Structure 1
């Protein structure tokens, strides 16, 4: 007997309880199939005789047998009717002052996120079907005071997706759950593993977001013992830094080669007994040893990347082989392309040239393949992984994966089972908050790139960081600059540059202040400017306080001078600050050198991606592995 025929069976799969309602064109979550046979043709329990209505001072329920109200987004416990003081089908009217509970009342014992309810005392409603928001909006209401039946248009709001969480480049970008029932949250919450790395950041932030995504090659989990060393504690086999811009318009994912030689700093790790043990750092070792080896946890990889790139990371997410297998199957397969036949002896991947849709073991074999593509190196495999992840992101956002409740639950279940995260996002609620924050990023504005490296002359099996190319790339992340040609940003900067006509160099009058800490920077810059023809440039000394980025303060009448000085110094448009008095003494402009200043004559322009850096856009469907 299937799930629909069982009465309160403990093994009922929530995904089996979503049934299609032909009257509304939406799905219905049937929480309690009726044992008495009082069900309609598509499995929903028919309303029984209505309960006696309570007075407005009591906890009112609608005429369908005690069903509590819902808010406009379909969340239980809210939703006020505007019908002249009568309890409506959607809850209470606008004149009632009853307290709203978070999700379900205390009869259920949990709020809408599966947490224990804060208060007790309300009598619970009897079992009934739970409708999706679009259904509730279109359901007929019984007339009150002369009002007739009213229907609202179904509204597809972002809040309709109760569990949308973004995990970025490992294919967790836009994983969604479904349902408003507390046990679904409990189920997904129970799937998540978390590690206390000694850094507990808030789930969301108003600034840019940096998420470290780690794929470990540990052979733990069902069906993974056949992939080589089954006793391995694992390494940081696949690592990406997923950077999302402050305005959420774009994202950059930097793949870090596992065989890159780097320094691993000392890192504190939490022990089972609650104590903290510091793992000593190492110099000139492979990056992938930052996890697993010497009992290092994800916090060690976190700190290694922070030191390497000079950035701050907000969260980490880690997954093993099962993540690829389960997520690829949950979305119904991931489209990939290979330019030639592949028969890899290590990954056991066999594919004919052309396009394929892979899931499960085949999907895992694809992202593990290295010897049959490119030069047979880890760098060649990174390109395969970037193609796969880009395609998975597109697949998750298409094919009804975010609108079909059974698919949503299957996807959310697979994602949370595959994850290990930091304590800052260690619950479904926190992951949901993060998802809603980051889900604004358009796929076309997501760029995958690889950290630039060079062959290691001392060890052919490893690579070393290409400092010249990596420095501007890391600076782009620090300064929240996109690798994608975001039209809005380009248009804004172009307009700002064209705003004023440049004045002659001889008319530039400015005081130079040192706010970056580089000794003698103000005097050196003033002398350089004078040598370039700006005879009225003078050194002002040390700035009152340090400044991260160089800025030029000028009065409206000095716009031409500011444009000329910005051109000479290579200042980005964001460095120019118009103010009534210009900021400097005696009517001069005020140029304050920040920590981004390196030397007089060296441009302080916005960082740009260096030439030759391997990258691919997540929206590019024509990528084919060679």
Structure 2
């Protein structure tokens, strides 16, 4: 939530020396990007911890918590800055937490062992894990590498909502939850401070009292806060803007690459290019944990999850799905139209021009063992790095190219047909680029969002049920 405030206030009104002193930073090493922004998409991991810092917060969260990853949103801003996807990650998601390195105060590095299966929220705080460990966990699950993180605690929620003058919310029924100190009437209200924190913390007031229902309320709240941030009343009031900027930078802990007001302003200017109507909230697709007789945790939905992650990796917008779906289907249909060779007849040399070491070898292993492409060969590293994956083939290899494109989810732009026919046993050439995220992961995502994945638009007010 704090990064949304920064995206609309710091860029408009900055007193550098004052705000610089507010910001706390953590060096996450190679878990993030060293650049503030890039020419490509921007991915920011927003973490809300359950740390009980600040006056009046003793009744929230887990007593003695070091600050776990309680509320998590992967915010993906498109390369052209026209749209953004904010994907919530359930705290009770069971997943692998990979080994990670943390920087110590004396400058040394400590390796934190990974865990084969644990709740996502323990990727922070447990065993000395820092936000860089949470970033690596997100990348491990989705194939999307976060560039930066922004972290807030309970106290930050109270300070930020007070600074903005309250956030409009709507309840489908009256709320009275003593556990979260929340009492709200049916219909519209304006909440700030303690009341706002109670709304974001409550589980017992909505739906089936699960974390997934709480996430929906958090998304509605954030959408309302974004609308408040971008309202003319806020943007034209210098005093209010400064109050917001001061509260936001006081509330934030960020990675060292963006740990000053000027860098945050640069990042904010990129984020603020996105129109509110093109910011879409979704929740990571999950299913009940099949390993539990009475499920209390969840795991990633293997089908819908992979589809949504592929869309984010390929920078496909959820707000322009219908237009992109039509265009992408047309290109993909033309690409795949026609006969496809049997896997055993596909002959391809694989080179690695991407960032993942050994990618050519792992892809050949996947092609041979999982897809039956036995005539695939590992040709090691490409002569130079490549941003995009490409498949070079001759006209008389088109049936092989179509088969391989379907297996790997290659976009039409990846297909490079030559002019001369191949001779003898000449193989096609597949060069893996920076967009390749792992063997078996589609290069491009589907043009259509997975069925059943609920979406909420930041410009639409919805009453919490």
Alignment TM class, shorter chain as reference: 0.7 to 0.9
Length, aligned pairs only: 438
User: Any idea what SS the aligned residue of 1:448 has?
Assistant: strand
1:445 equivalenced with 2:278 (yes/no): yes
Counterpart of 1:404 in structure 2 is 237
Counterpart of 2:23 in structure 1 is 192
User: CA RMSD for the aligned pairs?
Assistant: 3.9
User: 1:590-601 residue pairs with structure 2 within 5 A?
Assistant: 592=430
Q: Distance in 2 between matches of 1:320 and 1:506?
A: 54
Greater relative contact order structure (CA < 8 Å, 6+ sep): 2
Give 1:590 deviation, angstroms.
5.8
Instruction: Give CA-to-partner distance per residue, 1:33-65, whole Å, 9 cap, x none.
Output: xxxxxxxxxxxxxxxxxxxxxxxxxxxxxxxxx
Counterpart of 2:150 in structure 1 is 317
Q: Is the 8 A contact 2:314 2:444 kept in 1?
A: no
Counterpart of 1:518 in structure 2 is 364
Give 1:239 deviation, angstroms.
0.9
Counterpart of 1:135 in structure 2 is none
The structure with more helix, counted as a fraction of residues: 2
User: Any idea what SS the aligned residue of 1:357 has?
Assistant: strand
User: Any idea what SS the aligned residue of 1:470 has?
Assistant: helix
Give TM-score, length-normalised by structure 2.
0.80
1:485 equivalenced with 2:320 (yes/no): yes
Counterpart of 2:42 in structure 1 is 209
Instruction: Give CA-to-partner distance per residue, 1:457-479, whole Å, 9 cap, x none.
Output: 42633222222221222222222
Counterpart of 1:175 in structure 2 is 9
Instruction: Give CA-to-partner distance per residue, 1:308-342, whole Å, 9 cap, x none.
Output: 22232211100011222222222222121121121
**1:518–1:504 distance in 2 versus 1, CA, 3 Å:** closer
Q: Is the 8 A contact 2:88 2:215 kept in 1?
A: yes
User: 1:301-450 residue pairs with structure 2 within 5 A?
Assistant: 301-450=134-283
Q: Distance in 2 between matches of 1:583 and 1:398?
A: 59
Q: Is the 8 A contact 1:514 1:592 kept in 2?
A: yes
Q: Distance in 2 between matches of 1:267 and 1:502?
A: 41
Q: Distance in 1 between matches of 2:444 and 2:285?
A: 21
Q: Is the 8 A contact 2:349 2:427 kept in 1?
A: no
Instruction: Give CA-to-partner distance per residue, 1:577-607, whole Å, 9 cap, x none.
Output: 47xx437536x996748668989xx997633
Q: Is the 8 A contact 2:45 2:74 kept in 1?
A: yes
Counterpart of 1:574 in structure 2 is 413
Q: Unaligned stretches of 5+ in structure 1?
A: 1-164, 529-538
Query: Which of the two has higher C-alpha Rg?
Result: 1
User: 1:234-245 residue pairs with structure 2 within 5 A?
Assistant: 234-245=67-78
Q: Distance in 2 between matches of 1:305 and 1:487?
A: 28
Give 1:229 deviation, angstroms.
5.2
Give 1:221 deviation, angstroms.
1.9
Q: Is the 8 A contact 1:444 1:617 kept in 2?
A: yes
Q: Distance in 2 between matches of 1:540 and 1:460?
A: 42
Counterpart of 1:465 in structure 2 is 300
Q: Distance in 2 between matches of 1:501 and 1:277?
A: 49
Counterpart of 2:455 in structure 1 is 615
Instruction: Give CA-to-partner distance per residue, 1:356-385, whole Å, 9 cap, x none.
Output: 221121111111111110111111101110
Give 1:227 deviation, angstroms.
2.8
**1:598–1:582 distance in 2 versus 1, CA, 3 Å:** farther
Give 1:225 deviation, angstroms.
2.9
User: Any idea what SS the aligned residue of 1:401 has?
Assistant: helix
Instruction: Give CA-to-partner distance per residue, 1:473-496, whole Å, 9 cap, x none.
Output: 222222222222257645754675
**1:589–1:406 distance in 2 versus 1, CA, 3 Å:** farther
1:263 equivalenced with 2:102 (yes/no): no
Counterpart of 1:21 in structure 2 is none
User: Any idea what SS the aligned residue of 1:444 has?
Assistant: helix
Give 1:390 deviation, angstroms.
1.1
**1:505–1:280 distance in 2 versus 1, CA, 3 Å:** closer
